[in-house]
Chain A
Amino acid sequence: MSKKVLLNSKEIEIILHRLACQLIENHNDFSNTALIGLQPRGSFLAKRLASILTNDYHVENIHLGLLDITFYRDDFRRRDEPLEATNTQIDFLIENKNVVLIDDVLFSGRSVRAGLTAIQSYGRPKNIELLVLIDRRFSRHLPIQPNYKGRQVDAIDKEKVIVHWKESHNKDGIYLENK
């Protein structure tokens, strides 16, 4: 098993700032925008982006939500390991809002598909965009593409992208692991 560094903490910091700027370009003051992190892994990225937008770019009143997609997944009862649900925290209505779904790695697109269904339980958004930190090209099972992406990676199926966050692993870092 080998492990290669895809992005170090400095590069991640630069990419997060770029993604934040791209969001500002399209969403101005964020008054009608909701950032929704897909639980569990997308929530770290969503929180980090929200904090950069607030602290570094002085965007006020960001609507940040965390969405659990467990009950909307299409692989319920088809996996070896049972699914474990996490919390959903969305304390605002998303009716007519511009929603940005946020996840760390886009692989098959199935989590995002589940997220698209799940978000509709909170109303009808005006539109939905997708932001991912790592876009694994050539591995999609569904016709889903990101609007904002940190880095595009060409990885074969037996390789795995591992994302570490300061909040959970003490240090930011993205690795490519060969199983």
Chain B
Amino acid sequence: MKQLSVEHLLGIKYLNKNDIDLIFETANHFKEVINRPIKKVPSLRDITIANLFFENSTRTKLSFELAEKRLSSDIINFSASQSSVKKGETLIDTVNNILAMKVDIVVMRHPNVGAGVFLSKHIDAKIINAGDGTHEHPTQALLDSYSIKEKLGSLKGKKIVIVGDVLHSRVALSNIFALKLQGAEVKVCGPTTLIPKHIESLGVKVETNIQKALEWCDVANVLRVQHERMDVKYFPSTREYTQLFGINNEILDNLGKKITIMHPGPINRGVEITSEVADSNQSIILNQVENGVAVRMAVIYLLAQQIKR
């Protein structure tokens, strides 16, 4: 198995276990590359990549951009706030205009679910989904799994709890697919208003008590409360959320074991997680950021491998 089974990275649900293994193996090599004195390889010298961000992003965009530069590809950046999208241009028109400039790979974040799938059917370029609405964020899930694997050795049989705003989180959905595929047990924990109905059909269990959830797990992946996606009130107040679902040192000290804490960022310090926990040695938040570059390099490299001239 040396090649991905898919032509685009639209979501984890389209991947199989071999694909994930191949991405992780390739990422191991790139992790070594980005720790060298000169952190660059010339593999993608003749590849042009467009980063299309129709929604705000800081770390994902930076991480993709750095991964692309480390592979020596040419990059064009586009963000919706400064573009003709505001003037009423359709998605296909915007992208076709960019493709007319001979782009090979498109990295896209879009507020609408399925934007990547839609695009992949209409244009002739590799698509990498960097987040589509509340649907999937495959590279985040890959780097999360990669970081857990790096810390714990394997995912098989490990217990992972995803805490917080699961309803609005594309990170949660992609993580559930990725973790289940690798044989981990998954629970979600949060206010019932923020847990999607029928989520059990994905093979995960629901827990509404944070103490019990943390006692059960090996790893807690803590999600951000996404105020910007909340059209109605899902919980009475931020303070109440913090009291019921916030993770602090007191809860962790009472567990009688050391669990690993993750967060996809950006962190609302003092809301879903306290500063002490985020900065503690149990947290692998900054490892996730470093691994993000290696994993994205692997995904881009493996997709670029399929482009024949």
Chain A contact residues, CB within 8 Å of chain B: 68, 70-72, 76-78, 81-85, 87-88, 93, 117-118, 120-123
Contact = CB atoms under 8 A, between A and B. Distances in A.
8 contacts: A71-B41, A77-B305, A83-B305, A85-B26, A88-B29, A117-B42, A121-B33, A121-B40
B233 to A, nearest CB: 50
Given A71-B33, A84-B2, A88-B32, A77 B308 contact: yes
Interface in B35-94: 36-43, 71
Nearest to B46: A77
B309 A121 contact: no
Nearest to B70: A71
Given A82-B3, A85-B26, A87-B32, A77 B42 contact: no
A77 B304 contact: yes
Given A82-B305, A84-B2, A122-B36, A68 B29 contact: yes
How many residues of B sit at the interface, in one of the four size bands? 20 to 34
B39 to A, nearest CB: 8
A84 B33 CA distance: 15
Interface of B: 2-3, 26, 29, 32-33, 36-43, 71, 301, 304-305, 307-309
B12 to A, nearest CB: 22
Contacts of A81: 2
A72 B41 contact: yes
Nearest to A86: B29
A-B residue pairs, 7 tightest by C-beta: A71-B41, A121-B38, A82-B2, A85-B29, A71-B43, A121-B36, A82-B3
B contacts with A: majority SS: loop
Contacts of A84: 2
A122 B33 CA distance: 10
B258 to A, nearest CB: 30
A87 B37 contact: no
Contacts of B42: 71-72, 117
Given A71-B29, A83-B305, 19 more contacts: A71-B33, A71-B42, A71-B71, A72-B42, A72-B43, A76-B43, A77-B304, A77-B308, A77-B309, A82-B2, A83-B2, A84-B2, A85-B26, A85-B29, A87-B29, A88-B29, A121-B33, A121-B41, A123-B37
A137 B77 CA distance: 48
Contacts of B2: 81-84
Contacts of A118: 41
Contact of B305 (A68, A72, A76, A120): A76
